[in-house]
Each structure stands twice: as structure tokens, then as C-alpha cells.
Structure 1
Amino acid sequence: MSALSFSPKVPVKTNAGHRLLISNVQAASKELLTWTERGPHWNRAARACTAALTGNATPQEARRCFRIAAIENGRLLPRIEEEN
């Protein structure tokens, strides 16, 4: 497990409509960059991911902000128990 991994995974809907499980800060950062709608929670999540990547925030804080941004953007999907 990477030092920047987090749990539980965050299930989101991609631009193509597919289910994607985000389990680390790098993947969260990459997914955020694909979103065209960037509200205040997107900005907070992007800053939290950058902070985690530079050692100034925890992966769990980045996860929390990413999850809230996914809700704001209508991309958060329900968790399926076997995904974790």
C-alpha cells in the first residue's frame, strides 16, 4: 500500500459514465483534473491533494475533500461492500 493511499475507496462516475474507485491521492488529483465543473469544493480538494503530495496534509484529509467535491459535482456513487 502506498504511503498516499486512503481507505475506504471513493467510487465516482467518470466523464465517460464509468465507475472508478479512487484509492490514493495521486488518482484523486488526476481525476479532479478531468472535471469541467470546478466549484469551491473542487478547489478545496485540489489544494488538499497538492498539500498531501507535498507532505503538508494527510491522505485522509485529501480523501475527505475529494469526496465532498465529488458530491458537489454529482459524481459520488454509492459504495458497494465488496469494493473495499
Structure 2
Amino acid sequence: MATLWFVPPVFVKSETDGARHGCNNTRVALEQLKTWTRRGPSWHKAVTLCLSALDGDPIDPHVIRKAFEAAAKEAKMYLSPE
């Protein structure tokens, strides 16, 4: 299980306390995705990509980052970088 890193990080907020999280790899992204209650098509795509990458499938980290960012925007969890 390889962790794929991506740059720049995608910043998201926590649903519970509003904390700001900078997600810069597949493991952290998947952890965040699992906590979200709003789960649309972009969420499902991002989860599938993260799980596949962690299982060893050769996926470009840039593709995972884009999918995670889209899921964050869809779920209204995205925070612009400061």
C-alpha cells in the first residue's frame, strides 16, 4: 500500500469543528472523505481512486488530487488556499 503524495495540498474543513485540514496524500484524503456526510458522484469517484491507489493500482497522484478537490467542492468542504 503506497501513499501517493500530491502538491499543492487541497484544503478542506471539518464538519464537526470547522478545523482546516491540508490534504496532500491519498491516505489523508481518504480519511477526510470518510467523515463527510454529503456524498455525491464526485465523492464516490474520489473514494474509488484513493482506494485503488492504496491497493497498488498505478494512478497519477494529480488525478487523485483533482478528484478529491472536486469532491470537496461538491460537498461544500473545500477551502481556498491562503
Equivalent residue for 1:59, pick from 47, 58, 61: 61
Which amino acid letter does the alignment assign opposite residue 8 of structure 2?
A: P
TM-score of the pair, normalised by structure 1: 0.86
Residue 19, structure 1, aligned to residue 20, structure 2: yes
Structure-2-length-normalised TM-score: 0.88
1:45 is paired with a residue whose SS is helix
Partner letter of residue 66 of structure 1? Answer: F
Cα displacement (A) at 1:54: 1.9
Residues paired across the two proteins, number: 79
Quote how far apart the aligned CAs of 1:60 are.
1.8
Query: What is the alpha-carbon distance in structure 2 between the residues aligned to residue 39 and residue 75 of structure 1?
Result: 13
Q: What is the percentage of aligned positions where both structures have the same residue? A: 38
Shift of 1:3: 5.3
Structure 1: runs of 5+ lacking an equivalent:
none
Q: How does 1:1-84 map to 2 (within 5 A)?
A: 4-15=4-15, 16-56=17-57, 57-80=59-82
In structure 1, what is the Cα distance between the partners aligned to 2:50 and 2:62? 10
- 1:29-65 superposed Cα distances (whole Å, 9 cap, x missing partner): 0000000111111000000111211232222211110
Gaps of 5+ in 2: none
The question of whether the paired residues in 1 share the 8 Å contact of 2:8 and 2:24 is answered with: yes
Q: Which runs of 4+ in 1 moved over 4 A?
A: none
